[in-house]
Structure 1
Amino acid sequence: MPRMFGTDGVRGVANTPDLSPELAFALGRAAATLARRDAGQRPVAVIGRDTRRSGPMLAAALSAGICSAGGDVVDLGVVTTPGVAFITTHMQADFGVMISASHNPAPDNGIKFFSRDGYKLPDAVEDELEALVRSTTDTMPRPTGADLGTIRTSEAEVAAYIQHLVATGSPLRGMRVVVDCGHGAAYRLAPEVLRRLGAEVIPLNTAPDGININDGCGSTHPEALQQAVLAHKAHAGIAHDGDADRCMAVDERGQLVDGDQIMSICALDLKRRGLLPGDTVVATVMSNMGLELFLREHGLRLLRTKVGDRYVLEEMLKGGYTLGGEQSGHVIFGALATTGDGILTAVQLLSVVAREGQPLSALANQWQRLPQWLENVRVSRKEGWEENPAIRAAVAEAEAALAGRGRVLVRASGTEPLIRVMLEGPDMDQLRSLAAAIGEVVRAELR
């Protein structure tokens, strides 16, 4: 039986067996039961959601489950994923829940849990939740009368989150910023935060109707934002995904500024201010080698992890590092948040622009992105490719040919019978040739 929890909570098409109201109710009961066991008292849960039509339905079912097990619910309504993480710790709740499918289309949704310290639940706790939900014997409590849980709303907690974001930034007076909220969770919060910092804000896609979230807009579709920045002669553009845990930017020339560039800008700023422990930035294997070379030139180290923000965060916590993220714009400022926060990232990026007094294009283009070439090799089996001597020899030969001026990344697809061969380096013709050579060996060995 497949594991219920994926890398980012429980996901699926809302109102199907994969993500039904019945499942949300059961998850709520199970989470409240575990929280009561661990806290030894009546638990309090924080719930937020993005703007999908299925959000209120799932929130109602989840809340009912929590109340059914004797837990109290603070319903935040529409708020960002990092907002839920922050508020969970700010009000010392026992756990938090975000209902969102991030950058996915409107029919999808998801349920993501946070522990009382604002971090995603460990796998072991998720496994306990799943075991309770799947159990054929219901041993969870069903209190009655005054022991039932309650539900209340709290605008004050959302206001505290806004104030936290504002407090992390520098004044942005005189700066004109276009903000694409993707008809998602940031549609009110992002413009409000930047206005409070003094920026002139031109908002885009702030009219959610339940089905237009991420629809041709937001961080995965920045084209309209790029045009708007030029049309309004703005200093910068900011784009968020559905739950606003990501941020992509656009400079004053209309050019995209991705997560790698954002990390490079913020890394140098944190280094100058003595706020970059270990002179280290954590990123995944997918970040461009140009970033790594640039950081190295400035005495900084890029530490790479597997693909996924949870692996970035794990490495940051293990090493005590305060900056990490992904090329997709999921950036984590460990001293300010427990998860990636798109609005916080926008505040930090624009604050550097304001303090430096330089256009965003100048800061973003301090390094050259190395060309990449990706070869997808279809195979009959993926097992054992990492230990295969012939494949390892072909990779080593390619790395020697690049002579430290590039890199080779070979990994198996998680969903298809493919081995992905990605090379970076200064010469595209060389990359194609080396990738083809590795591909031939992979194809021969795994046929």
Structure 2
Amino acid sequence: MARSWLDIDPSSDFSLANIPFGIIDTPEDVTRHVGVAIGSYVLDLKELAHRIGANNLLPFGAHSTPGVFETRTLNAFAKLGRSVHRHVRERIQDLLSENTSCPHLLRDNAELREKVLWPQHRVRMFLPMDIGDYTDFYAGYHHAYAVGVMFRGPANALQPNYTHLPVGYHGRASSIVVSGTPVRRPVGQILLDPKAEPKQPTVAPSRKLDIELELGCFITKSNDLGHPVSIDEAEKHVFGYVLLNDWSARDIQTWEYVPLGPFNGKNFTTTISPWVVLADALEPFKTKGIENPTPLQDYLKEKREETVFDIQLEVDLTTPDGNTTTITKTNGKNLMWSFPQMIAHHTLGGCPLRKGDLLGSGTISGPVPEESGSLLELSEGGKRVIQLNGGEGRTFLKDGDTVTFRGFCVGKEGERVGFGECTGRVEGA
């Protein structure tokens, strides 16, 4: 990977090897439109395409959609398909490269640089996609096992179907928000004394507000009703990836989830990071996931062994007093099921996915307790206090707490591919 003529910190998530896409507005253009992150800057693609011509960014055949960078979401760009995404990403990399093939277009054009390059702190970020449907899977084996042990014991921690298919449920797309949006503590039915008989719930604010550290996948290509996506074609349906916090109210969830699964305990808020890291940017970091000892059905068999991503994941908790503690570190490779397998299973019965749909991986936890992706695991269901810097402790979240996810892949020096931050602050019910 060539160096950029921009001054980019080697530790930046947004190296020249990345080029993630998002929806922005700027002090000079308050209409939402497309930008990309590069180092500590944002490149305004709407303004750039207007100044140099969309044909200098889009491949031949895609010129009929010159306004694709002027839209309020990335859906129109996602719809163009992975070959176009690849071309545009490579074209931007060339324009930003120290040895660019077209130095006059941007590198040597000081006036244009002033118009199209913005410091990130001067740009506002918005939800990157118009999300029609959201499906949350349960592919984090260590999380599924640890939580299963809490409720059913080691012998029955996992249901018999867990290693046969990617377990999932349909979430609520309308409550997905972009990083930085406050998270209101939900109110719901909870059991104050689970051991009391008869069981009588109380309507109250959740006392066990939790996080779930996940990876989100956006769909770029639709399939028709009644036509499943084969495992070999599933990769073509992937647009890109974000960090995802599927906030969870454990006390509401515990009372309601039998027999049909999570509902109000999950649907109040899901936070995603604002920058969509394209599938091609993560391709060099593919690795093996957790080995599945169960013989798979043919529709779930992938040809390659490297099916998940070596993404270093971290979670910070900042108290209202401003003390920050990194409460967990884990890795994206701790998944038993890949996103292509999730797509193939999701569509097996003929369910149509649509561009902009979001799939969640499920909570990503490592094999040891300190690598857990939820407070439920870190606190052992509320039995153990998590010690924080500044002397405070937590079992679950308090009002005023801020949770920040980070995720990044470490390549060669100066080629880090990361997601930026996925953050949310808890507000009172």
After TM superposition, the score normalised by the length of structure 2 is: 0.31
After TM superposition, the score normalised by the length of structure 1 is: 0.30
Q: When you count helix as a share of all residues, which structure comes out higher?
A: 1
Q: When you count strand as a share of all residues, which structure comes out higher?
A: 2
Higher relative contact order (CA 8 A, sep 6+): 2
